[in-house]
Chains A and B, each alone.
Chain A
Amino acid sequence: GQQLNQSPQSMFIQEGEDVSMNCTSSSIFNTWLWYKQDPGEGPVLLIALYKAGELTSNGRLTAQFGITRKDSFLNISASIPSDVGIYFCAGQRGDYKLSFGAGTTVTVRA
């Protein structure tokens, strides 16, 4: 599969903070996706992006499909405790196979 580089690997959030994470690839994708995984559960789709430059929001989440089609970022505004979990980016080519990033683990700063 294609290699996706997701960063940061982990982050601590304080309630109310804005946080961001991104994903880059050496290959072009037709679709970028962002998933969230809560402990003990499977990933759930948060946002899907279908064209270069697209900026899409889902509540406090905003994601963008990079102009080069090789990157994407996800922002979370005004963090709340239930934002903790693992966030995965995924890229899809025309053959409908997904390549996933390694994930960004978000935890609450004590």
Chain B
Amino acid sequence: NAGVTQTPKFQVLKTGQSMTLQCAQDMNHNSMYWYRQDPGMGLRLIYYSASEGTTDKGEVPNGYNVSRLNKREFSLRLESAAPSQTSVYFCASREGGVTLHFGNGTRLTVT
């Protein structure tokens, strides 16, 4: 049982490059989330998808777009990466309740 799988694990981008972070869950959860984690800031919500076909902005959506491709997959896209987007990105999912299941993160550096 893989849970939440994120790819890639590491990525280095130059300013202005684009990339898509992939996330897939095999728990049949309706809700999926993208967070970023920065030192001293905790986890901040970028976007979420309460169910297949819907997406909503979180606290820090600027510079990002998302796609809920199907119930399993929720991708995060950086169209034009900036150094301020250097962070660790976590995808999470859940089905009602409070228990968020997190992936192991993507460590992104933008130079």
Q: Which residues of A contact B (CB under 8 A)?
A: 1, 4, 6, 9, 31, 33, 40-45, 48, 88, 90, 92, 96-98, 100-103
The segment from B14-22, B62-70, B71-79, B92-100 that touches chain A is B92-100
Pick from B45, B100, B103 the residue with the most CB of A within 10 Å: B100
State in angstroms the CA–CA spacing of A40 and B102 once bound together: 12
**A98 contacts across to B, CB distance below 8 A:** 43, 45, 98, 100
| A31 CA to B105 CA, complexed, in Å | 25
- Residue ranges of B at the interface with A (Cβ–Cβ < 8 Å): 4, 31, 40-45, 48, 58-59, 90, 92, 98-100, 102-105
Given contacts A41-B105, A42-B90, A42-B92, contact A1 B100 (CB under 8 A): no
Contact call B99/A45, Cβ cutoff below 8 A: yes
Contact assessment for B59 and A102 in the assembled complex, using a CB-CB cutoff below 8 Å = no
| Chain B residues whose CB sits within 8 angstroms of the CB of A101 once the complex forms | 42
- Report the bound CA distance from A6 to B59 in whole Å: 19
Instruction: Give min CB distance, A64 to chain B, whole Å.
Output: 17
Cα-based distance from A48 to B100 in the complex (angstroms): 11
Q: Is the CB of B102 within 8 A of A44?
A: yes
Please indicate the chain A residues that have their CB under 8 angstroms from the CB of B98 in the complex.
31, 33, 45, 48, 92, 98
